[in-house]
Amino acid sequence: MYKIDDKEFETLSDAMKHAETLNRFVVIKGADYEICGKFGVDSIENSTLPDGNEYQWKMRRDETHRSWRKKLG
């Protein structure tokens, strides 16, 4: 089961298709993980999305991330 906002979907594919129709940044929550982003974007040129908005990206790390553990020692 996958969830976007309060709407539930049986498959990840169905959730991603719905996310494309929203045309905004979304979080798809599954049983064991989350997927986030603006779905349906297929190209980025000069830090700009096809709809003209600026592309922004942030890497989120938690204590389970390998590079995080390397820094801790």
Which of 23, 22, 21, 26 lies closest to 4, judged by CA? Answer: 26
Q: Residue ranges per domain, the chain?
A: 2-72
Report how far residue 36's alpha carbon sits from residue 59's, in angstroms, rounded to the nearest whole number: 11
Q: What is the pLDDT of residue 62?
A: 61
pLDDT at residue 66 in the model: 60
| pLDDT in the model for residue 44 | 78
Scanning the structure block, which residue is given the tokens 């049983």?
A: 31
pLDDT (tens, 9 = 90+) of the chain, 73 residues, equals 999 999 999 999 999 999 989 988 999 999 988 998 888 767 778 888 777 888 877 766 666 656 555 555 5
- One DSSP character per residue, 3-54 reads EETTEEESSHHHHHHHHHHHTS-EEEE-SS-EEEE-TT----BTTB-TTSPB
The pLDDT of residue 18 is 94
